[in-house]
């Protein structure tokens, strides 16, 4: 079993990923700025922040996979991209990096345009653009580290938690929508997609989308 570190492990996406990883028997380190009282039994919780990359690297010693589930909002606005790039530069090359992005960088259809360029809500554009920048940095680096970047469906978040179905669809670069054009995935099923990719890598140094 792998040792998986989840940055932002107490947030919406992070806690679902922690829960799914523990359920599959992995050793899990949940990293967050403050340790939540409501914890997933079997996971190890530590206080840490992406704003202190040297300190964070020390806490991540020995991990096999690092998954960033940190959103660039609040005090993290404008901080996720530069600090993930700094972290990527100093992690051991053997560590696989996974990044949870947003729906904005996925494509509406093969060949484009991007979701952010097609009537995207103005209030969420800054977050979306920062995570698109993270993807740009990963695609541009030439260290050879294995990474994956996953775009959830448009209706993904604590505002619309949904239920675990055990299913999802992989849309490649294109946002996943249903027959009615709706885009959604529950937190639990999104975590299944993340753990499936960790256990059986299908997107080596690639981004992909998931939804129903």
Strand 27-32 to 3-7 pairing: parallel
Query: pLDDT value at position 187?
Result: 98
Query: pLDDT value at position 112?
Result: 85
Closest CA to 115 of 93, 100, 132: 132
Give pLDDT tens digits for 148-195: 999 999 999 999 999 999 999 999 999 999 999 999 999 999 999 999
Query: pLDDT value at position 56?
Result: 97
The CATH number covering residue 101 comes to 3.40.50.720
- Owning domain of residue 75: 3-211
Closest CA to 204 of 107, 132, 97: 97
With the C-alpha atoms ordered 153, 119, 134, 50, is the resulting torsion angle positive or negative? negative
For the whole model, what pTM was predicted? 0.96
Closest CA to 195 of 154, 144, 150: 150
- pLDDT tens, the chain, 212 aa long: 899 999 999 999 999 999 999 999 999 999 999 878 889 999 999 999 999 999 999 999 999 999 999 999 999 999 999 999 999 999 999 999 999 999 999 999 999 899 999 989 999 999 999 999 999 999 998 878 999 999 999 999 999 999 999 999 999 999 999 999 999 999 999 999 999 999 999 999 999 999 99
For 18-43, give the secondary structure using H, E and C. Answer: HHHHHHCCCEEEEEECCCCCCCCCCC
Query: pLDDT value at position 51?
Result: 97
Closest CA to 32 of 1, 76, 2: 76
Domain count, the chain: 1
Query: pLDDT value at position 142?
Result: 82
């Amino acid at each position: 079993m792998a040792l998986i570190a989840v940055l932002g492990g107490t947030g919406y996406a992070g806690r679902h990923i922690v829960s799914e990883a523990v359920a599959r028997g992995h050793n899990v380190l949940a990293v967050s700025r403050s340790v939540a009282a409501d914890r997933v039994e079997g996971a190890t919780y530590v206080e840490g922040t992406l704003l202190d990359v040297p300190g964070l690297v020390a806490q991540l010693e020995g991990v096999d996979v690092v998954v960033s589930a940190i959103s660039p909002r609040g005090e993290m606005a404008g901080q996720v991209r530069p600090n993930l790039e700094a972290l990527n530069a100093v992690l051991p090359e053997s560590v696989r990096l996974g990044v949870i992005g947003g729906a904005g960088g996925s494509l509406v259809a093969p060949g484009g345009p991007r979701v952010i360029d097609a009537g995207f809500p103005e209030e969420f554009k800054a977050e979306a653009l920062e995570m698109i920048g993270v993807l740009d940095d990963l695609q541009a680096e030439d260290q050879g580290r294995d990474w994956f970047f996953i775009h959830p469906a448009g209706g993904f978040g604590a505002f619309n938690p949904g239920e675990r179905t055990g299913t999802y669809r992989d849309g490649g670069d294109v946002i996943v929508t249903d027959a009615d054009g709706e885009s959604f995935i529950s937190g639990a099923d999104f975590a299944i997609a993340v753990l499936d990719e960790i256990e059986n890598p299908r997107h080596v140094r690639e981004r992909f989308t998931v939804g129903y």
